[in-house]
Amino acid sequence: MQPAAARGVSTVSMRLALIVLSCCATAPPPLPPAVVPPAAPRVQPEVTEVAIAALVAGDFAAVARAFEPATRPTEQQVAAVWRGKSARLGAVVRWWIADRTFQDGFATRIVMIELERGTLECLLTIAPEGVASLFVTRPAPPAAYVDRARFRDVALTIGEPPWQLPATLSVPAGAGPFPAVVLVHGSGPNDRDETVGANKLFKDLAEGLASAGIAVLRYDKRTYTYGDRLTNTLTLDDEVVLDAVAAAHALAALPEVDGARVFVIGHSLGAMLAPEIAQRAGGIAGVVLLAPPARAPWDIVRDQMRYLNAPREVRADVERTLVRAQLGEDTGTLMGMPMSYWQDWANRDGIAAARKLGARVLVLHGDRDYQVTGEDFALWQKGLAGVRGAELASLAGDNHLFIAGHGPPTPLEYKVPAHVDERAFARILAWLRR
């Protein structure tokens, strides 16, 4: 649901699009995420409940009033969206908030609405002054490669105080020990499912691989769980590497797991760092790199802004900061992150780490990825040419989340419920089974 006047890429969509590399950035996602996500939405906590209660009651004017002024739709627009989606589904039976997370420091809520003859899913992004966007869709059916009867989920905690992180281990049915995978997120405050809009890359991978006999550990990131405790001295070790190494050690020690067959699968920034994580963890059988960046972060940010045609004043401000970052200035921030963070990123060489790893490497790229582009993939191809055990593939039609689509990619794709492309999943599974 967008405001009456066309505004091109919305502010919220811009944030999502530039979240370097969760979509990552992420997403990918958005102007890259702030170091410290708020511990609670920066609006009255009942805004989601108010908007959804009004929606199911047919009070479309109240729904419109719940929006922030910049994105407020008309009452008629709200009514058209709801009636178009709920037609022939009958009366509302109940509704509930199924997921609470943050993207780029803003609250995101997924609300399920059960009607007499079907279910709808609402994705809300909450800005400081109210609802920023509300998308109503039919939930995507389970991915074809997921069979919940073939695995179980176990709650775990990884790491040591003061940075213990809640985690989920998806364990295949039957007798182990099983080969196992630890999933490593892109940049920014990501939950264990790596939720980006209406999509959950890591949940798809975990449930699919567990259905196929491979145990999978995924966890909430430190920046997601403890954002209010972190400072602007944050490094990539703090944000990604140390917790990923701890997760790999915890996974290998579990009785259900074959410690000689533990793999690391990283996405976006987590993919770039996966070879280093594997080396520091020790005993890792191989790494899968999903959309790994290869260029300096400021080059990636600059290209994303140009692709999305960011407002001139935003581009000018960011360009000035990018120049300072490239010159090595260590004061100030770039898109919420301290300069030291970006310089730490620029000084890491994922390709060199992969060349030295001495373990199998699989690199996958989606050719519709505007966040980590074909330019990055070409650098990985060149850097790993001739390296024994290295495989690289580009999947036609896949975006940064390895969801298939058509035409020029946009941030709005992340609002549509979908699953990881079966081709990407099959390629990963076949590689892990060798």
pLDDT, tens digit (0-9, with 9 covering 90-100), for 243-264: 999 999 999 999 999 999 999 9
User: Would you call 400 a catalytic residue per the annotation?
Assistant: yes
Per-residue confidence (pLDDT) for residue 102, from 0 to 100: 67
Residue 398 above 50 pLDDT?
yes
Final residue of a domain: which of 137, 167, 200? Answer: 137
* 385 within a domain of the structure (yes/no): yes
User: Would you call 268 a catalytic residue per the annotation?
Assistant: yes
**Top-confidence residue, 11 or 290:** 290
Highest mean pLDDT among 21-30, 177-186, 304-313, 321-330 belongs to: 177-186
The least confident of 69-73, 150-154, 389-393 is: 69-73
* 5 within a domain of the structure (yes/no): no
Phi and psi, residue 118, nearest 5°: 160, 180
Residue 314 above 60 pLDDT?
yes
* 65 within a domain of the structure (yes/no): yes
Final residue of a domain: which of 105, 137, 169? Answer: 137
The closest alpha carbon to 290, from 270, 262, 263, belongs to 270
Q: Exactly one of 243, 344, 369, 376 is catalytic; name it.
A: 369
One domain for residues 161 and 184: yes
* 216 within a domain of the structure (yes/no): yes
- Once rounded to an integer, what is the mean pLDDT over residues 131-135? 91
Residue 275 above 50 pLDDT?
yes
Q: How far apart are CA 351 and CA 340, in angstroms?
A: 21
- Once rounded to an integer, what is the mean pLDDT over residues 317-322? 86
- Type of residue numbered 226: Y
Phi and psi, residue 120, nearest 5°: -115, 155
Residue 141 above 70 pLDDT?
yes
Per-residue confidence (pLDDT) for residue 368, from 0 to 100: 97
Q: How far apart are CA 145 and CA 98, in angstroms?
A: 23
One domain for residues 74 and 187: no
One domain for residues 269 and 122: no
Q: How far apart are CA 164 and CA 99, in angstroms?
A: 21
**Top-confidence residue, 25 or 95:** 95
- Once rounded to an integer, what is the mean pLDDT over residues 98-119? 81
One domain for residues 230 and 111: no
Domain total in the chain: 2
* 3 within a domain of the structure (yes/no): no
Q: How far apart are CA 248 and CA 357, in angstroms?
A: 16
User: What CATH code is carried by the domain that includes residue 391?
Assistant: 3.40.50.1820
Per-residue confidence (pLDDT) for residue 355, from 0 to 100: 97
One domain for residues 108 and 163: no
* 42 within a domain of the structure (yes/no): yes
Q: Exactly one of 133, 400, 419, 421 is catalytic; name it.
A: 400
Handedness of CA 31, 36, 39, 40 (dihedral sign): negative
- Once rounded to an integer, what is the mean pLDDT over residues 330-344? 79
Q: How far apart are CA 285 and CA 194, in angstroms?
A: 23
Q: How far apart are CA 290 and CA 269, in angstroms?
A: 9
One domain for residues 275 and 388: yes
- Once rounded to an integer, what is the mean pLDDT over residues 186-203? 89
User: What CATH code is carried by the domain that includes residue 73?
Assistant: 3.10.450.50
One domain for residues 220 and 245: yes
| Full residue range of the structural domain in which residue 199 is found | 148-433
One domain for residues 409 and 337: yes
Final residue of a domain: which of 118, 137, 156? Answer: 137
* 226 within a domain of the structure (yes/no): yes
Q: Exactly one of 191, 238, 268, 376 is catalytic; name it.
A: 268
pLDDT band (50, 70, 90) for residue 320: confident
Per-residue confidence (pLDDT) for residue 419, from 0 to 100: 95
Pairing state between β 286-290 and 257-267: parallel
pLDDT band (50, 70, 90) for residue 105: low
Residue pair 318/335 in contact (Cβ under 8 Å)? The answer is yes
Per-residue confidence (pLDDT) for residue 138, from 0 to 100: 84
Q: How far apart are CA 115 and CA 119, in angstroms?
A: 6
Q: How far apart are CA 68 and CA 72, in angstroms?
A: 6
One domain for residues 86 and 154: no
**Top-confidence residue, 428 or 43:** 428
Phi and psi, residue 238, nearest 5°: -65, -45
Encode pLDDT of 10-48 as tens digits: 222 223 222 333 333 333 333 232 223 333 334 444 799
Residue 52 above 60 pLDDT?
yes
Q: How far apart are CA 365 and CA 272, in angstroms?
A: 12
- Once rounded to an integer, what is the mean pLDDT over residues 398-425? 92
* 4 within a domain of the structure (yes/no): no
One domain for residues 244 and 204: yes
One domain for residues 268 and 159: yes
**Top-confidence residue, 356 or 28:** 356
One domain for residues 274 and 387: yes
Paired with 181 in beta bridges are 216, 263
The closest alpha carbon to 272, from 187, 360, 181, belongs to 187
Per-residue confidence (pLDDT) for residue 164, from 0 to 100: 95
Q: Look over the chain and give the mean of its residue pLDDT values, rounded to a whole number.
A: 86
